[in-house]
Amino acid sequence: MSTADISILLLTLRVGLVATAMNLPLALAVSWLLVKKRVRGGTLIDVLVSMPLAVPPVTVGFLLLLALGREGPLGRLLGMDIVFTWVAAAAAAAIVSFPLVVRAAMVAMAGVDERLEMSARSLGAGPLRVFFTVTVPLAYRGILAGLLLGFVRALSEFGATITVAGNIPGKTQTLPLAIYTSIQVRDDFRAGALVGVSIALAAATLLAHNWLLRRAPRESG
């Protein structure tokens, strides 16, 4: 791989890691509300959470473009225009991968024995303390598996990223965008090499994800 390709790989990893970090607190909060608190309007929240999986990624990118631009609501709030930056690419990857993280966290939390949580509450622990000392420790392998699944989805994000962040070499060009560019200019050798790297990253992440899922039932049992 050339120096430029290594830079692309590092940028892709940075976007994926930042997107995953952005997803973690919100995914935990939403999962807790839907699974443990069973809040009113849960069905509507569930639909909104799942929406990025149901619409084309370019739709997510377009909405982000409107929201993050200097004249958009988030752009005005931040006081800057982050469109066509790697931060916008991370935001796009986070939104598209968010449903996968939430779904996995919900399943993991639903598998926690509520009797243990009730015992902690009976000893005087508040809801947040129960969440961080009982629910999360018992569900952490499922949560980590969801984060890995979200991470690998973030690495492969294309449609939303190219819409809100563009395809700027050295600035916003991630691995999927570099593959697309190589195909467009008929550089089959470079495209093949980048595809190989992409497959290797995905395979390693999915193997770790499956390993966590296999261990979780044994430990809970």
Q: What are the tens digits of pLDDT across the range 46-62?
A: 999 999 999 999 999 99
**3-state DSSP call for residue 173?**
coil
The per-residue pLDDT for 221 is: 46
C-alpha Rg value of the chain to the nearest Å: 19
Look at 188 and 78; give whichever has higher pLDDT. 188
pLDDT at res. 140: 92
**How confident is the model over 89-146, as pLDDT tens digits?**
999 999 999 999 999 999 999 999 899 989 998 888 888 899 999 999 999 999 999 9
Q: What is the pLDDT of residues 160-177, one digit of tens each?
A: 999 999 999 999 999 999
What is the SS3 assignment for 198? helix
- The reported pLDDT for the residue numbered 50 is 93
Q: What is the DSSP letter of 69?
A: S
Cα–Cα distance for residue pair 103/214, rounded to 1 Å: 17
Burial tier of 196 (Cβ tally within 10 Å: 0-12, 13-18, 19+): exposed
Average pLDDT over residues 4-14: 95
CA triple 10-153-193, angle to 5 deg: 50
More confident residue, 134 or 212: 134
Single-letter code of the amino acid located at 89: A
Token pair listed for 63: 């909405």
Question: Closest Cα partner for 50 from 106, 91, 108, 12?
Answer: 106
For the chain, give me the number of helices (H) and strands (E)?
Answer: 11, 0
Region 6-34: what's the mean pLDDT? 96
The pLDDT of 22-38, averaged and rounded, is 92
Q: Which of 146, 153, 138 is nearest to 212 (CA)?
A: 146
Q: Please state which CATH number belongs to domain 3-214.
A: 1.10.3720.10
Domain boundaries, the chain: 3-214
Mean pLDDT of 25-29: 95
In the prediction, which pLDDT does 216 show?
A: 59
pLDDT at 217: 54
* Residue 68, Cβ density class (10 Å: 0-12 exposed, 13-18 middle, ≥19 buried): buried
Q: Which residues contact 145 (CB under 8 A, 6 or more apart)?
A: 104, 108, 209, 212, 213, 216
